[in-house]
Chain A
C-alpha cells in the first residue's frame, strides 16, 4: 500500500468517525440485557462478576432478578462496560431490594471506572431488609471519556458489605431536564487519597492504623488525669517540701536519668520522624564531609529551609560519631540525633529551677517545675519520638529573656542572634523583645547598650552565616528566609488551631474563610493584633509598676543576684512573649504544629513570677493540646501511614477535637491575662 493511499484511507476513516460521533451523540446509550432475563450459570448475559475477596459469595439470576449474596463482607459487583459520549449526562437506574445487608456501602448502583481512569461513583445505599425501591444515579461524564463501567454493587472500595442484594429492571439512558442533581465523575483518588498505599496494607494492619488515633486520645486523657488530677491538684502538697541541696540534686539527676530512659524507649519504638531524621543525618554527613561552604548551593539543596546554626551542630555530631564509630543508621545513631534536644530540655529545666529558687520558691516547687519540663508530654514526644529541635530554640529564647532581665543587653542580643540561627521562628519574638529593650531604657548608657545588643545579634548571625557564604550574593540568607516563610503556603500545616477548626488544615492560604476574607488576610490581621496587644501588655505593666515608665531600683533577691527588672516586669516579659506567640499560633496562618511549643515553658516562667495558679493550668492545658497535636501530626506526616489515615474521618475528628482544645486554652489564657488573680497567688508558692 502506497503512502498516499494510507493517508487517504486514514482521512476517510477519520471523517467517518467524526460523522458517526456526531450521529451517536444524540443516541441513547446501548445497555445489553438490562432486563436481566438471559443468564448463563446464574450470571446475566453481557455482565461480568467482580469481587474483592475471591470466595464466599454467589450470584444468581432468575426471571429478571439478579441476586448478589455474600455471607462474609466483600465488594461484590456485576459489571458491564458501556460506551458513552464525553461531557454528557446519563441516568443509571434499577430497582433494588435487600436482605440483611450490613456494613460498608451497602447495595448501590455504581460507576466503577476506577481501574480505567480512576473515577468512581455510588448511588444512595440500601441496607438491611428492604422492599423493592427504584434507585437512580445521574452523572456527567468527563471530557474525553468514552466508556463507563456500570456496576450493580454490594459493598464498595474499602467499604465491604455483607448480605443479599437483589436488582431488577436495570436501565441506562440519557439524562433529561427532570433528572435529579447530576453528579460529576470525580477522581476516586481525590476523594480518599488512599489508592497507593491501600493495596500494600493488609486488613489487620489497616484496622490497627485507623485505631491509632484512639490510642493517642487515650494517652492524652491519661496524661490529663495525671497532670491535672494528680499534679495540679496536689501542687501544694508536692511543692510544700523542703530539702537540702544534695537531695535536690539527687532528685534532679534521677529525673534526668528517667527522662533519658523514657525517650530512649520512645526512640526505639518510633525511630524518629522519617523525613526529619533523614534530613538531620544527610545534612550532618554533607557538612562533615564537604564543609559548609556550598551547603545551600549544591545541586538539589535549593529547598533547604533551615537557618545555618543547627547545621553546624549536625556536622559536629556526625564528626564525633565517625570518630567513635557509631553507625548513623543504627538505633543508637538515631538516638544521638535526639540528644541535643533532650539536653536542651534538661537545661530548660535547670534554668527554670534556678529562676524559681532566685524568686524564692520552695524546694518542692523547684523540683515540681523541673519535672514539668523534663516529663512534659509535649517535650517528651518532640525530643523522644520525633527528634525535632524546638527545645533548643526554646532554650536560646529563655536564655535571651533571662539575660535581658538581668540587664545584660548585649549578651541577650547575642543569644537572640543564635536563636534565630537555630530556627527562624525566633523572629516572632522580635517585637516583644524590642519592646522590652526600649521600655526599660532609663539612661543614655542603656540606649547605647541596646544598640550594642542589636549589633551583637547581627554579629552572631553573621559569624554563623559566614562559613556558609561560599560564592553567594551577600543577602542570600534573606532570600532563604523569605522562601522558608512562604514555603508552605497553607492556612495551617497540621497545626490544629482556630484556622484548622475552620477547615484550614492543608488548605491554600488564599482560600476564602468567610465573607471574602481569606485565611491569609485573617491570619495577617491576627498577627498584627497579636504584636500590638503583646507590646501594649508590656507597656501597661511597665507603667503601672514603675510609674511613668521610669525604672524601679534594682532588686536584691535571696540568691544575691541582681535583677534589672522588678518581679512584675519580669513576669510581664514572659507573659507578653507567650501571648504574642500563643495568639499568632491560634489565629495566624502558615502555622506548623510545633510553633507553639516554647509557650509551654514561657508560661511556667511567667507562673514563677506571678504565682498565679491559672498560668500553671494554662501551661498544662497547652501541653496536652500540643501533645495530642504533635502525635497526630507526626503520625499523619510519616510516609507509610499517611495515605490510609488522612483519608479517614478519624483524622478530621482528631483535628477538630484538638483545635477546640487549643483555641479554648488560648481563651482561658486571655482570661487569665486580663483578670486579677483571685486565688492565693504568690503566697502559695513562696515560703
Chain B
C-alpha cells in the first residue's frame, strides 16, 4: 500500500501546475503585441485626389504606411511637384512600412494611379523623426489620419504582422468582413479561432495573437493531465508540463498567429481522451461511461483536422491504439462464452459509435468550418446557393489544397528535413530588425530548446532500446500500455514526415515534441524506480532547460538584445542555426 504521505505529496503538484500555467500565461502575454492599432480603413477607390495639409511647409523625410488588404499604386505629390509613388504589395499589410519621401512641402496630394490601395493609417515624419501633424481639409475624420495616436515610436513585431501572419491573421480579418479568402492551403478552423481573438480585441497585433497564446497556455494543463494518467505520478506530470513550458518552440510557435498551435492542442486533447477510454475496463465498466471519452476524442480529432491536415497523422495513431486495445480485450475475453458474447456486443456498439464520432462528426465539423467560404461563394452567385453548392465549394477547396501541398516545389532558406529536426539543426527565422542608433537587434526564430529536444530525443531512443532489450516489462508503464501509447504518439506524428516530399520546416516537428518529452520522462521514471538514476536528476533536467529558456528568451520573443549577445546565441550556444548569419 502506498504511503498516504507520499500520495499527499504527489497530489501537491496540481497546484504547482496551475501556478506554472498562470506564470507562463503572464510571460507569454508580456510584449505579445499592441492593442493600439488603426482600425478604420481608407481606400483609394473612395474618390479622386486627397490633399493632406501639414500646417506649414516642412521637410518630409519619410512616410509610414499602415496597409490594409489591397494592392495598387498611389502617387504622393509635393508642392513643388516632386513625386513619390507608393506601391502597395501583398506582403505589406497591418504593419508600419517606412518609405523615403524626402521633399519639402506643406500639402501632399494623394492621387490613385492604379489598383485599390487600402490603408489603415499614414504618418509623416521630419528629419528628426518627429511625427508631423497632418489633416485633410474639410474631412475631419479621414480614416487615413484619424488614429495618429496609434503611430508607434518604431516599427516592430509588436505593432505589425510578421512571418506567416500575413496569411493567417489576414484571413481571419477576411472571415470577419466577408471578404474573399486569401489563405486556403490549410482548413479554416485555426483562422476562425484567430478571428475570435480579433472580434474581442480588434484587428490589433494583440488581437490576432491572443487566441494562439491562450491555446499555448492551455496546452500545459492538458499535457499535465495526459501525463498524470500515463505516469500515475504527479511529479512527472508536472515535469512534463514544465519542460514543455520552457521549450522555446512551444513559446514562439504559440505567440504567432498561425494555425500550428491549434492542431497541437487538439492532438494533445485527443490523446488525453483516448487514454481515458483505454483506462476504462472494457468488459466491466458501464458502456455509456466508456463511450464519453471516446466521443470527446472523436470531436477533438475533428477539430484538429479542421485546423490543419496534420491532425490526420495523429488520427492514424489513434486508430492503431483503438484497434490494438480492442484486439487485446478480445483475447482477454478468451474462450469463456459469456465474456465472448459480451465482448462482441460491446465491440460492435463501440465500433458503430466510432463510425459516428470519428467519421461523421469530424466531417460535419470540417464542413461547418468552411462557412466563411460559402458566404463568399453565395455572395458571388446571388441568392441561389444551396447545400449542393456548398459541398461543391468544399470539394474544390480540398482539391486545390491537396494539389498545392503535393506539387509544391519551392525551396526556402529555412527549410530542413525530418532527420534534422530532433537536433534542432535549422530554426525557422520569423523576424528580424536592427536599430543602428542603439546597436540592438530584435530577432525571432522558431526553434526547439536544445536542453529539451536533444535530451528528449536521446531519451526516446533509449526507451525504444530498453523495450527492445525487454527491460521495460517489469514496469507499470509497460503493463498498462503507457509506453505503447507514447511511442505510437511519437511515430504517428513523426514518421509520415519521412515520406513528405515538399519542403518541410522544423515547426512540423512541434506535434511530436510533447510525445517525445513524455517518452523520455517515462524512461527517466523507469530508471528512477529501478534506482539507476537519482530522484533529483529530473529536477536537474528542468533546471537546465529553464536556464536555456532564460538564455534563449530574446531569440524566441524578439526582445531587443545587443548584437554581441545575438552572436553568442548564434555561434556559441549549442542549438543549430538560429538567424542564418544575420548577426
Contact = CB atoms under 8 A, between A and B. Distances in A.
Interface string B427-442: 0010111111100011
A110 to B, nearest CB: 15
B89 A71 contact: yes
Interface stretch (B3-11, B249-257, B272-280, B466-474): B466-474
A230 interface: yes
B420 A211 contact: yes
B98 A131 contact: yes
A129 B411 contact: no
Contacts, number: 112
B41 interface: no
A133 B413 contact: no
A468 interface: no
Contact of B416 (A204, A211, A225, A226): A211
Given A62-B83, A99-B98, A130 B423 contact: no
Contacts of A651: none
B329 interface: no
A103 B465 contact: no
B324 interface: no
Contacts of B89: 69, 71
Interface residues of A, number: 46
A126 B439 CA distance: 12
Given A126-B434, A128-B431, A229 B423 contact: no
B103 A160 contact: no
B574 to A, nearest CB: 10
A100 B99 CA distance: 12
A97 B582 contact: no
B144 to A, nearest CB: 20
Interface string A146-177: 00000000000001100000101000000000
Interface in A98-150: 99-100, 102-106, 125-133
Given A128-B432, A229-B462, A229-B465, A73 B413 contact: yes
A63 interface: yes
Given A103-B580, A214-B419, A160 B413 contact: yes
B89 to A, nearest CB: 7
Interface in A54-85: 60, 62-65, 69, 71, 73
Interface in B395-417: 411-417
B449 to A, nearest CB: 17
Contact of A102 (B411, B429, B461): B429
Contacts of A100: 91-92
Contacts of B417: 208, 211, 214
A128 B433 contact: yes
A230 B84 contact: no
B31 interface: no
A66 to B, nearest CB: 10
A207 interface: yes
Nearest to A221: B458
Given A62-B84, A131-B98, A230-B469, A102 B432 contact: yes
A77 B417 CA distance: 31
A217 interface: yes
A40 interface: no
Given A62-B84, A128-B433, A225-B461, A97 B100 contact: yes
A234 interface: yes
A214 B420 contact: yes
B435 A130 contact: yes
Contacts of A160: 413
A207 B465 contact: no
A680 interface: no
B100 A65 contact: yes
Nearest to A130: B434
B425 A211 contact: yes
B423 A203 contact: no
B422 interface: yes
B564 interface: no
B53 interface: no
Given A127-B432, A221-B458, A214 B423 contact: yes
Contact of A234 (B82, B156, B420, B469): B469
Q: Which of A64, A99, A104, A159 has the most CB of B within 10 A?
A: A99
Nearest to B412: A73
A478 interface: no
A215 interface: yes
Interface in B452-498: 457-458, 461-462, 465-466, 468-469, 471
Contact of B84 (A63, A127, A208): A63
A218 B419 contact: yes
A204 B91 contact: no
A630 B362 CA distance: 51
B61 to A, nearest CB: 9
Nearest to A128: B433
A215 B419 contact: yes
B433 A225 contact: no
B102 interface: yes
Interface of A is mostly: mixed
B97 interface: yes
B85 interface: yes
B155 interface: yes
B380 to A, nearest CB: 28
A127 B433 contact: yes
Contacts of B466: 229
Contacts of B82: 63
Contacts of A60: 85, 87
A40 B137 CA distance: 36
Contact of B413 (A65, A104, A204): A104
A7 interface: no
A234 B411 contact: no
Given A127-B434, A128-B431, A229-B466, A102 B582 contact: yes
Contacts of A126: 434
A129 B465 contact: no
A222 interface: yes
Nearest to B468: A230
Q: Which of B98, B441, B442 has the most CB of A within 10 A?
A: B98
A214 B431 CA distance: 25
A62 B457 CA distance: 54
B581 interface: yes
Contacts of B85: 60, 62
Contact of A225 (B98, B100, B465): B465
A126 B441 CA distance: 11
Q: Which of A99, A128, A204, A229 has the most CB of B within 10 A?
A: A128
A104 B425 CA distance: 17
Nearest to A218: B419
A686 B139 CA distance: 98
Interface string B130-169: 0000000000000000000000000110000000000000
B347 to A, nearest CB: 38
A219 to B, nearest CB: 9
B413 A103 contact: yes
B413 A222 contact: no
A226 B420 CA distance: 20
Interface string B561-583: 00000000000000000001110
Nearest to A105: B581
A2 to B, nearest CB: 62
Closest 8 CB pairs of A and B: A128-B433, A128-B432, A133-B436, A103-B413, A230-B465, A225-B461, A214-B420, A229-B462
11 contacts: A65-B100, A65-B102, A71-B91, A73-B412, A103-B580, A128-B441, A132-B100, A160-B413, A168-B100, A211-B417, A221-B457
Given A128-B432, A204-B411, 20 more contacts: A60-B87, A71-B89, A73-B412, A97-B98, A99-B97, A100-B91, A100-B92, A102-B413, A102-B429, A104-B413, A127-B582, A128-B431, A130-B436, A207-B411, A208-B417, A214-B425, A221-B423, A221-B457, A226-B465, A229-B466
Interface of B: 82-85, 87, 89, 91-92, 97-98, 100, 102-103, 129, 155-156, 411-417, 419-420, 422-423, 425, 429, 431-437, 441-442, 457-458, 461-462, 465-466, 468-469, 471, 580-582
